[in-house]
Amino acid sequence: MKISHSELELCRSNPSQWAAARIASASTKPRFGMTYDRALKLAIHKFHNSDAQAALQYLEDLITRHQQKKKLLNKLRVEGIRKQLSYYIKWWKACDAPMIDSSFTLRDSGAGTLALGGKISRLDLTAKGYRAVLFGIAKIDWKQELRMPLIQWIISEMYGRPISEISVGFQKVDGTNLDTHTYSGRRG
């Protein structure tokens, strides 16, 4: 069974609630509707795989297409994601860390019956090694979440790098509040 890293803490704290929600969602058709956050993250991914102009145009195309479908209609929120994309691009251009990968899925190759998956927003090369970033606002106790050292371990396996060279953390989608941590990698 595969579990998203974003669901792991709920699964640990209340397995029966997590299982019930999982069963309920399995019986319904998955919906991947467009949200402001999703549009912004898709545009950031486009930026990393192309350039700033392509990302800005891609965001405008997403907004136009989904407004025709009666989505993304809040003008303040639309302006907000435009600004956040511009801020992110400006931050990235000033950043000195080359990007290794953008918006990729964890591939847990463990032989167990439970595999951890989910999206990682960005993987950078830094002076100390590699930095895996999740976009969003970090909880106060995010460093105690089990998923974080597991993400570090899976990324070290995926990219064939020593676990001590991998840091994991969060960053807001406007490029601010980058905070990462490296776990010791010791077992037991």
3-state SS of 11-30 is: HHHCHHHHHHHHHHHHCCCC
Distance CA 133, CA 136 (A): 9
Q: Has residue 85 got a pLDDT over 90?
A: yes
Q: Has residue 31 got a pLDDT over 70?
A: no
Exposure of 114 in the CB half-sphere (CA atoms within 13 A): 8
Confidence (pLDDT) at 68: 94
Q: Has residue 185 got a pLDDT over 90?
A: no
Distance CA 122, CA 180 (A): 12
Mean pLDDT for all residues in the chain: 91
- Percent of the chain scored above 70 by pLDDT? 93
Nearest CA to 56 out of 93, 83, 91, 92 is that of 83
Confidence (pLDDT) at 29: 61
> What integer is the mean pLDDT of 59-86?
97
Confidence (pLDDT) at 46: 97
Q: Has residue 110 got a pLDDT over 70?
A: no
Q: Has residue 112 got a pLDDT over 80?
A: no
Q: Has residue 188 got a pLDDT over 70?
A: no
**Cβ neighbours, 10 Å, residue 116:** 21
Render pLDDT for 1-23 as a digit per residue (tens, 0 to 9).
788 898 898 888 898 988 888 88
> What integer is the mean pLDDT of 118-128?
95
- Asked whether 130 and 123 are in contact (CB, 8 A), the reply is yes
Q: Has residue 168 got a pLDDT over 50?
A: yes
Residue listed under structure tokens 């998203």 = 4
Tokens of 12: 């640990």
pTM: 0.90
